[in-house]
Structure 1
Amino acid sequence: MDGSLFYWVCWCFWTYLTFLLNKQNPYRLKLSALILSLIILENNHFTLAGFDLYTGGLFLLFVSYAFTYGEKRKTIAYFFICSFIVSIAYVTFHLFEIFDPVWVIFNKDWMMGILICYLSILLQKGLKGRILMVASGTMQGEFFYAYILRKFDFSYSIGSLTYLDAFAITSILLVGWSCLENAGIYFENNFALNQKSKQKSS
C-alpha cells in the first residue's frame, strides 16, 4: 500500500521528537510541527499546467528552500549544485527503470534510497544539509521526470505517496548513517578519556 512506509516513519519521528527528545532542544517543536504539517498536507492534490501536483511533496520543496534561504551565497550556490546532481540521479534512475527494468534487482524504492543516500553523504557533511538536499533534489527530479513523461503522453503525479515512501526510506538511511557517525565520535572520545584517566592514575 502506497504511503504506509511514509506514515510509519513520520509517526516514529514525531513520537521521538515529542516524547523522547530533550525538551530543551531548539529544533524539537519546529520539527514536530513540520512532520505534522507534512502528514496533513500529503494527500491533497491539484492540477497546474496539466500536471497533477500533491501538496505534501511541494511542502517538502518549500521547506528545503526556506531553510536554505538564510545561508551565505556560496553555501546556497553549492546547495543548488548538489540538489541538481541529486535531481539528475533521481530522473536517470526512473528512466532506466522504464527502458531497462532488468537491472532493478530488488525493491526499486530501496535501490533508489540507497543511491540517493550515498550521493548525499558524499556531497554534504551534516544530517540537516543532507535531508534538505534530498528533499529539494528529489522533488526537482519529480518535476523533470513528469515533464519527460508528458512528452510521451504519459501522466505522472508529482510528489505522490509513492514518492513520499521513497523519501522516507532515504531519510531512514540518512538518520541511521548519522547515528553511526556520531556513535564513532562518542566511543572515540570516551575511549580517549578512559586512556588518559588510566595514565594519570598509574
Structure 2
Amino acid sequence: MEGVIFYWSCWAFWIYLTFILEKQNPYRVKLAAIVLIALILSNFQFKIGEFEVQASGLFILGISYLFLSQEKRGAIIYYFICSFIVSIAYVTFHLFEIFDPIWIIFKKEWMMGIGLWYLAILLQQTLKGRLIIIFAGAMQGEILFAYILNKFQFPYLIGAFSSLDVCSITAMLLVGWSALENAGSILQNHFHFFEKGKQKSS
C-alpha cells in the first residue's frame, strides 16, 4: 500500500521530536511542525494548469528551498547543482521503468531509495545537506517527470504517495548512515570517559 512508509516514518519522527529529543534543541519545534503539516497536507490535492499536485509534495519542496535560502551564496549554488543531479537520476529511473521494466528486480521504491541514498552520500558530507538535496531533488524530479509525461498526454500526480515513500526510505537510510558515521566518535568519548574514571579510581 502506497504511503504506509511515509506515514510510519513521519509519525515515528514526530514522536521522537515531541517526546524524546531534548527540549533545549532549537530545531525541535520547527521540525515537529513541518512533519505534522506534511502529514496533514498529504490528504489534499489541487490542480496547477494541466498538472495534478499533492499538497504535501509541494510543501516539502518549499521547505527544502527555505532551508537552502539560509545558506551562503556559494553553498546555495552547489546545493542546487546537487539537487539537479538527484532530479536527473530520479527522472532517469522512472523513464527506465517505463521503457525497460524488467530490470526492476525488487520493489521500485526501495531501489530508488537505495540509489538516492548512495548519491546523497557522494554529493554531500552532512546529514542536513543530504536531506535537503534528496527532498528538493526528488520533488523537482517529480515536476520534470510529470512535464515529460504530459507531452504524451499521460496523467501523473506530482508528489504522490509513492514519491513520498521514496523520500521517506532515503531519509531513514541517511539517518541510519549518519548514526553509523558518528558512532565511532560517540563510542570513543564513552570509553574515554570510563578510562578517565579508572585512572582516577586507581
Q: TM-score range by the shorter chain?
A: over 0.9
Share of identical aligned residues, percent?
Answer: 59
Q: Residue deviations 1:87-121, cap 9 Å, x none?
A: 00000011111111111111100000000011111
Q: Distance in 2 between matches of 1:196 and 1:148?
A: 62
Q: Distance in 2 between matches of 1:153 and 1:188?
A: 58
Where do residues 1-202 of structure 1 align in structure 2 (5 Å cutoff)? 1-191=1-191
Q: Distance in 2 between matches of 1:130 and 1:92?
A: 20
- Taking structure 1 as the reference length, the TM-score comes to 0.94
Q: Distance in 2 between matches of 1:10 and 1:63?
A: 15
SS at match of 2:52: strand
Q: Distance in 1 between matches of 2:116 and 2:163?
A: 13
Q: Contact (CA 8 Å) 1:117, 1:173: kept in 2 or not?
A: yes
- Taking structure 2 as the reference length, the TM-score comes to 0.94
CA RMSD after TM alignment: 1.7
Q: Distance in 2 between matches of 1:196 and 1:85?
A: 47
Q: Distance in 1 between matches of 2:16 and 2:197?
A: 35
Q: Distance in 1 between matches of 2:116 and 2:185?
A: 24
Q: Distance in 1 between matches of 2:16 and 2:70?
A: 27
Q: Distance in 1 between matches of 2:93 and 2:191?
A: 42
Q: Contact (CA 8 Å) 1:43, 1:161: kept in 2 or not?
A: no
Q: Residue deviations 1:22-66, cap 9 Å, x none?
A: 111111111100000000111211111200011100000000000
SS at match of 1:111: helix
Q: Distance in 2 between matches of 1:9 and 1:152?
A: 34
Q: Residue deviations 1:175-199, cap 9 Å, x none?
A: 1111111112212344456667778
Q: Distance in 2 between matches of 1:72 and 1:94?
A: 33
Q: Residue deviations 1:110-160, cap 9 Å, x none?
A: 000000011111111111111111110000000111111112221100001
Q: Distance in 2 between matches of 1:78 and 1:25?
A: 28
Q: Distance in 2 between matches of 1:109 and 1:45?
A: 22
Q: Distance in 2 between matches of 1:192 and 1:85?
A: 41
Structure 2, unmatched stretches of 5+, are none
Aligned AA (2:41) = L
